[in-house]
C-alpha cells in the first residue's frame, strides 16, 4: 500500500509467516508421509518420469541370496537393521500400494520393475532356475503387468535362466510376446551347479540368448551382484565394499568390458545393453582403456573389431539409478550423449523422492530433461 512503512524486524516476521512457515509445514508433512529411515523427503516438481531399475521380490524363493545360501553373496549382514527391514517390506508385492504412493510423491509415472539380485542367476540347479524363471515372470505379469491392479503404472523386465541359454531364449520369447515384458534383466554372472562354477556374459554358449534379444528388439539390463566369494580376497576384512558401495560397479564394468572384447557386438550390432549407476564407472575409464589397448597385440588377444568406446556409443544405454552426483551425470551425458541416459531410482534401496528431487533440480535444457526423464525410456522400451 502506498505510503505504508514497515520496519525491518516486522518485514522479516511477515516474510517468515507468509513463506517460510507454509514451506516448513509442507516439508514436515511430507516427511511424515514418506516414513523412510535415513532418507530426506524433499518435494519434486518434474512430472511424468520413468524409472527403470526398480527391484521387487518374490515368494517363490529368496532372490536376495544364492540358492542354496552361501556366505559373501549378500550385503544384508552389513546393512542397518531398520533399513534392511524397510527394504524387505518394500520389495514385497503386498507393498505395491505404498510403492505407488512413493512414485506419486516423486512424480514418477511408470516404474519398470525387476527381480532382486542375485535372483535367478544365483540358483545353482539348472532345472530349478529354468522353472523359477518362468514362475517369476508369470508373477511379475500378474502383479505388475497387464493383469495387475496398476496396469498404467508398471512395466517389467523378464528374468532369464542363463544356466540353460536355449531355455532362456525360449522363455524370453514367451515373456515378451505373451506377458508383455519390455526386455530382460540379468544379475551379473550365473552360477551353474556350485558357488565357484559360473558363466560370464561373454560365454559363447549364450549365443541363442543374444540372438533372441536382437530378434525381439528388446534390451538387456545388466544388474550387478557381489563378486564371486573366491574373488573377494581384495575386500578381506572389508567385505561390505564388495556389494553396492563398490564391488557392484567394478564387477559389472568388468563384465561389460568382456562383452565388448568378445565380439558379441560385431556379431549382433543392434544388441542393446542397459547399465545402471551412471554406467558403472565406464564413462570415466573407457578412454583410458582404449588408450592402453592401442599398444596391445589386439588381433591376437581378443576378437572385437572396434574400440571399446565405439561399442559404448552404439550399443549401451545407462541409467542414473542410485547415483545423485551432478558432475558424474554431466560426464555420463558427455561421454555417450543425453539420448543414451535415462532417469532411474534403484528403489527401494534408494528413495524415490530423494532421487526425484535431485533430478528435478538439475540445470538442464527442457529437451534434455524430457529425454532423460522419460523420452529415452519410452523410445527404448517402446512404452
- In sequence order, the 6+-apart residues with CB closer than 8 A to the CB of 38 are 80, 82, 83
State whether the Cα torsion 354-113-222-264 is positive or negative.
negative
Taking the C-alpha atoms of residue 234 and residue 295, their distance in angstroms, rounded to an integer, is: 28
Q: Are 229 and 195 in contact (CB under 8 A)?
A: yes
Taking the C-alpha atoms of residue 206 and residue 209, their distance in angstroms, rounded to an integer, is: 5
Taking the C-alpha atoms of residue 131 and residue 240, their distance in angstroms, rounded to an integer, is: 32
Q: Are 304 and 14 in contact (CB under 8 A)?
A: no
Taking the C-alpha atoms of residue 167 and residue 140, their distance in angstroms, rounded to an integer, is: 19
Taking the C-alpha atoms of residue 56 and residue 95, their distance in angstroms, rounded to an integer, is: 10
185 sits in which H/E element: strand 184-187
At residue 275, the 3 state secondary structure works out as: strand
* Catalytic residue (one of 41, 164, 251, 346): 346
- In sequence order, the 6+-apart residues with CB closer than 8 A to the CB of 59 are 92, 93
Q: Are 262 and 303 in contact (CB under 8 A)?
A: yes
Peptide bond before residue 68 is cis, with ω within 30 degrees of 0 = yes
Taking the C-alpha atoms of residue 375 and residue 144, their distance in angstroms, rounded to an integer, is: 21
**Would residue 346 show up in a list of annotated catalytic residues for this protein?**
yes
The residues carrying an active-site annotation are 346
Amino acid at each position: 500500500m502506498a505510503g505504508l512503512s514497515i520496519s525491518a524486524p516486522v518485514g522479516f516476521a511477515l516474510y517468515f509467516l507468509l513463506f517460510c512457515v507454509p514451506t516448513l509445514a509442507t516439508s514436515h508433512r511430507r516427511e511424515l508421509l514418506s516414513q523412510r529411515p535415513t532418507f530426506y523427503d524433499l518435494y519434486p516438481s518434474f512430472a511424468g518420469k520413468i524409472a527403470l531399475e526398480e527391484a521387487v521380490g518374490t515368494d517363490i524363493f529368496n532372490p536376495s541370496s544364492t540358492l542354496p545360501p552361501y556366505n559373501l553373496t549378500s550385503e544384508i549382514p552389513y546393512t542397518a537393521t531398520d533399513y534392511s527391514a524397510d527394504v524387505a517390506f518394500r520389495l514385497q508385492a503386498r507393498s505395491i500400494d505404498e510403492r505407488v504412493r512413493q512414485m506419486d510423491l516423486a512424480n514418477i509415472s511408470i516404474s519398470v520393475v525387476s527381480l532382486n539380485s542375485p535372483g535367478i542367476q544365483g540358483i545353482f540347479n539348472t532345472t530349478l532356475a529354468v522353472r523359477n524363471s518362468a514362475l517369476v515372470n508369470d508373477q511379475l505379469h500378474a502383479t505388475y503387468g497387464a493383469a495387475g491392479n496398476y496396469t498404467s503404472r508398471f512395466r517389467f523386465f523378464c528374468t532369464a535362466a542363463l544356466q540353460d541359454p536355449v531355455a532362456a531364449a525360449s522363455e524370453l520369447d514367451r515373456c515378451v510376446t505373451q506377458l508383455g515384458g519390455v526386455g530382460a534383466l540379468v544379475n551379473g554372472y550365473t552360477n551353474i551347479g556350485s558357488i565357484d562354477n559360473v558363466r560370464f556374459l561373454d560365454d559363447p554358449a549364450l549365443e541363442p540368448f543374444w540372438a533372441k534379444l536382437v530378434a525381439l528388439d528388446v534390451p538387456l539390463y545388466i544388474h550387478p551382484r557381489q563378486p564371486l566369494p573366491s574373488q573377494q580376497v581384495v575386500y578381506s576384512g572389508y567385505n561390505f565394499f564388495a556389494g553396492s558401495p563398490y564391488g557392484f560397479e567394478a564387477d559389472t564394468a568388468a563384465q561389460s568390458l568382456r562383452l565388448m572384447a568378445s565380439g558379441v557386438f560385431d556379431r549382433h550390432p543392434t544388441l542393446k545393453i542397459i547399465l545402471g549407476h551412471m554406467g558403472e564407472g565406464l564413462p570415466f575409464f573407457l578412454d583410458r582403456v582404449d588408450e592402453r589397448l592401442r599398444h596391445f597385440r589386439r588381433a591376437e588377444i581378443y576378437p572385437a573389431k572396434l574400440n571399446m568406446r565405439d561399442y559404448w556409443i552404439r550399443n549401451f544405454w545407462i541409467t542414473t539409478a542410485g547415483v545423485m552426483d551432478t558432475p558424474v551425470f554431466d560426464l555420463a551425458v558427455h561421454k555417450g550423449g543425453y539420448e543414451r541416459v535415462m532417469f532411474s531410482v534403484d528403489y527401494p534401496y534408494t528413495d524415490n523422492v530423494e532421487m526425484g528431487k535431485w533430478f528435478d533440480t538439475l540445470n538442464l535444457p527442457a529437451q534434455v530433461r524430457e529425454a532423460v526423464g522419460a523420452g529415452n525410456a519410452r523410445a527404448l522400451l517402446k512404452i
